[in-house]
Amino acid sequence: MKKKVNILRKLFPYVMVIPTMILLAVFVFYPLVNMVYLSFFDYNLIKEKTFCGLDNYYRIFFIQTDFRDAFLNTLIYMAGTTFFLLFLGLVFALWLQRDSKFNAIAQRLMFFPNICAGLAISLIFQWLMDDEGLFNMVLGFFDIAPLRWLNDSTTSLLSVMIVAIWKGIGYYALILLSSVKSIPTELIEAADLDDAGKIRTFFKITLPMLSPQLFFLLITLTINSFKVFDSVRLMTGGGPGNSSDVLVYWIYRYSMEYNKYGLACAGGTVLLVILLILTVVYFRVIGKKVHYQ
Amino acid sequence: MGEIVFKNICKSFGDTKVIENLDLTIKDGEFTVLVGASGCGKTTLLRMIAGIGPATSGELYIDGEEVTDIPPGKRGIAMVFQNYAIYPTMTVRGNIEFGLKNKKIPKSERDRLIADAAEVVGLTPYLNRMPSQLSGGQRQRVALARAMVKTPSVFLLDEPLSNLDAKLRVAMRTELIELHHRLKTTFVYVTHDQTEAMSMADTIILMDGGKIQQMAAPEVIYNDPNNIFTAQFIGTPPMNVHKMRDDVNYIGYRPEKIQIFRDKPTDCTYVRKVKVITREMLGSETLYKLQILSDAENEKEPIMSKSLDMSFAVDEEVYIGVPKEDLYYFDANKMRIRETDMLERLYCTTEGDK
Ligand SMILES: Nc1ncnc2c1ncn2[C@@H]1O[C@H](COP(=O)(O)OP(=O)(O)OP(=O)(O)O)[C@@H](O)[C@H]1O
Ligand SMILES: [Mg+2]
């Protein structure tokens, strides 16, 4: 009798997580495994799938240049948005940390883009960045030659990044603001008494105190920027040429538009591996230096 | 080197006025102890001196110089914060070293200073630890060491020993007194503990509600209080105070000055018949709680007495007597009355005894 109760008690937690696990298995684990599996096949939904070894990987890395372009663009996009979102987020957080009416309003306004639909923002910026759009009108007003923004292969990726930064800045500033505010004021005062100066106080006290949050944001930001898709698809379609193509959009095109599932899965697997490596590296290397407690 | 002068200083947080029209001079080189109940404005006062919580109005002089525009780091001040405020991201060594590095003191000199300070506060084995790996008392000592290495002209210490055990507290108390002797700089020391105040201070400043109740040497504070607040704040148990029969003025006497007799004494100014309610042995002394046997409304409150004689039993009826020189009188505003002849004649004699 007693034994039965014990077994039930031990089983109970597992029973409770079964629904989640089933959902995860169906919608996450199975597709993941299947993706890796399919990446070793020549497969396009119609033809019989045939095993081709590492052929797909060879093709995307060494024969087709568009994957490499997308890959490089994604790296640039990741580095740019991550850096500027963290940097500007921190700047705004420091700027907004004093309680005042103005700051309260500024904070809300900055958060606003974040609650707008990505679709709407993409469309608005498409209009703003049009050849005859508002941005060029403003530039013209100052007698600066107009830019072709999304339609020029040198600025298209940059334009997409600007939109992403504009959209995300409020969110990251808000998170960093709450951490800045949670630093005990006595610490800053003690540094004042220690005659540390504003800059030294920032680098020796404020920044280390923020490092856990910055680290967390760094991880989520890099991972999220690897997944960029909708803004690219809506605003540039990866173009002109492949100048603003990114990994996920490449995968999307190869699966949904070209029906080359084997290649798409190989690309997806590469993405998966990169994200795994990034996460492990982050936690191993930076994680150690960050958590001071 | 570090005389501190407050001139007509006010401090408010929003609408709450914490300190109003304060005039105060803290003498150079003295060990001044600030005591007062929680929330009376002690920390606020220190923060004004340090420059991290500036006064709302008024003038503050350190060493004859108006310091309103001098940043905290340039005032020659070291402060031990009430909640330590040690830097959680630096090791113990880093914490102590930070101020020295900012002052561009060379490495060898720094190492020597750190080693000395760590030795004094007993933290040498912990120099490479992070603060999160220290106990509360150890953190407090880091804060102390951090202040000590700076050789400031004014030391501000906000309850720096509150988290130490009794033994360590006594040891650190001695260290601080020695440090003061060695440096001969101005110390402003905040504490709740009146023993600490009495034993360490050259001058005690007793505060209540943002006002200074009395500022004097410990023995003056004890023997010659200005008002009922001071009289009752210093000394354990506090001075017995009750209304006199005129229902206007107050009379007070310290528990340790009460003499207890089995027979009615003749040579005391103040004599009452009392009953012993409780009796507490404190070791060398015994604490009695006594009820005056009288119907008068003003003498209903029990009184405390501290006596070397432990022979009186609970429920025993005895006499207490207080000599003339140990009686204190206060007026309706609870301020001391020093012209006492008339009061004594009118209200004090044995006629109270029934
Ligand atoms: N930042 C602040 N905002 C509003 N009120 C404050 C602020 N700091 C202090 N006060 C108020 O000022 C009064 C004095 O505070 P202070 O910290 O000086 O007390 P204290 O004498 O140091 O008390 P304790 O012995 O408990 O440390 C308190 O009533 C407190 O509520
Ligand atoms: Mg305080």
Domain containing A130 equals: 64-289
Question: With contacts defined as CB-CB under 8 Å, which chain B residues touch A187?
Answer: 85, 87-88
Torsion of CA B248, B249, B255, B259, to 10 degrees: -100
Number of domains in chain A: 1
Determine the pLDDT at residue B352. 46
Which one of A183, A195, A206, A214 makes the best mutation probe of the B interface by having the most chain B beta carbons within 10 Å?
A: A195
Angstrom CA distances, A162 to A118, B30, B309, stand at 13, 62, 87
**Residue A40 within any structural domain of the chain:** no
Q: Radius of gyration over alpha carbons of chain B, in Å?
A: 24
**B354 in a domain, yes or no?**
no
Residues of A with CB below 8 A from B86's CB?
A: 190
Ligand nearest, relative to CA of residue B42: 1
Q: How many domains does chain B have?
A: 2
Interface ipTM: 0.81
Instruction: Output b/e per residue, A119-150; b: 16+ Cβ within 10 A.
Output: eebbeebbebbbeebebbeeeeeeeeeebbbb
Same domain membership, residue B194 and residue B53: yes
| Among the bound ligands, the one closest to the CA of B208 | 1
Instruction: Look at residues B325, B351, B322, B323 and name the one whose alpha carbon lies nearest to residue B338.
Output: B325
Apex A113 CA angle, A110 and A117, nearest 5: 165
How would you class B100 by CB atoms within 10 Å of its CB: exposed for 0-12, middle for 13-18, buried for 19 or more? buried
Domain identity same for B189 and B254:
no
* Same domain membership, residue B281 and residue B170: no
Q: How confident is the model at residue B115 (pLDDT cuts 50, 70, 90)?
A: very high
Q: Which residue of A has its CA nearest to B87?
A: A187
d(CA B178, CA B157): 15
Residues B72, A189: C-beta atoms closer than 8 Å? yes
User: In terms of domains, do B221 and B317 share one?
Assistant: no
- Strands (E) across B309-348 are located at 317-322, 328-330, 336-337
Q: Is residue B351 part of a domain?
A: no
pLDDT tens-digit profile of B37-94? 888 999 999 999 999 988 899 999 998 889 988 999 888 899 999 888 999 999 999 9
Which residues neighbour B100 within 8 Å (Cβ) at sequence distance 6 or greater? B109, B110, B113, B114, B149, B150
Same domain, B147 and B75: yes
Contact A204 B98 (CB under 8 A): yes
Q: Containing domain of residue B325, as a range?
A: 239-346
Q: Measure B36 CA to ligand 2 centroid, in angstroms.
A: 10
Q: Is the pLDDT of residue B351 over 70?
A: no
In chain B, which residues have their Cβ closer than 8 Å to the Cβ of A293?
88, 130, 132
By DSSP bridging, strand B57-62 and strand B65-66 are antiparallel
Residue A49 lies in a domain: no
Q: Does residue A280 form part of some domain?
A: yes
Whether B223 and B303 share a structural domain: no
Residue A76 CB: number of other CB atoms within 10 A? 16
The domain that holds B120 is classified in CATH as: 3.40.50.300
* Residue B293 counted as domain residue: yes
pTM assigned to the model: 0.79
In a domain, B234, yes or no: no
Would you state the pLDDT for residue A284? 80
Torsion of CA A270, A275, A278, A284, to 10 degrees: -120
Q: With CA atoms as reference, report the closest residue to A69 among A241, A269, A282, A258.
A: A241
If phi > 0 it is left, if psi is from -120 to 50 it is alpha, else beta; for residue B139 that is alpha
The three-class DSSP label of residue B60 is strand
Residue A244's CATH number? 1.10.3720.10
End residue of a domain, out of B207, B228, B249? B228
- Please say if the pLDDT value at position A168 is more than 70: yes
User: How far does residue B41's CA lie from ligand 1's centre (Å)?
Assistant: 6
Which pLDDT value is given to residue B294?
84
